[in-house]
Amino acid sequence: MLRKVDKHSGVPAYLQIVNMIKSEILLGNLQKGSQLSSIRELQQIFDVNINTVLKALEKLKSEGYIEAEQGVGYFVKKDFDVDKKIIEIIKTCVAKLKDNSIDYYTAILIFEEVWKNE
């Protein structure tokens, strides 16, 4: 789901955009060959300057995820599919956490710490 960038998160906007688009590809919402929205549409969706969108697309291009066609648009180039099982594991975990009224920030903090400790 592409959505407004969080300008107070501390994470640079262009990286948030990179991550959101990667997630779309990861989850299969954007498949190989799909055309992205135009730069100027993305600019509105993310609510940032056109140069910020460009920087994000440039990074995705350099990593091989998308490619550009002059005058036409950007297209998904690489299709990495994550095992459905992985998504299920995470969905189950997220559901449990939400059941316990944990907020996203706390969850991520613990997730990161647990990941890097064990």
Partner DNA sequence: TATACTGTTATATAATTATATAACACTAGA
Partner DNA sequence: TCTAGTGTTATATAATTATATAACAGTATA
CA nearest neighbour of 6 among 48, 60, 36, 38: 48
Judge contact between 48 and 12, C-beta under 8 A: no
Joined tokens for residue 47 = 């609510």
Query: Of 8-16, 22-30, 78-86, 105-113, which part binds DNA (CB under 7 A)?
Result: 8-16
Among 7, 12, 37, 78, binds a second copy (CB under 8 A): 12
Binding window for a second copy (CB under 8 A); candidates: 30-38, 42-50, 70-78, 96-104: 96-104
Q: Kindly tell me the sign of the dihedral angle through the C-alpha atoms of 64, 56, 103, 109.
A: positive
d(C-alpha 41, C-alpha 60), whole Å: 17
Extract the tokens encoding 43: 């600019």
Instruction: Give the single-character DSSP code of 48.
Output: S
Among 2, 20, 26, 39, binds DNA (CB under 7 A): 39
- State the nearest-atom distance from the C-beta of 99 to a second copy, in Å: 9
Binding pattern to a second copy, positions 22-61, x when CB under 8 A?
xx--xx----------------------------------
Chain positions contacting a second copy, by CB under 8 A: 1, 3, 10-12, 15, 19-20, 22-23, 26-27, 82-83, 85-87, 89-97, 100, 102, 104, 106-118
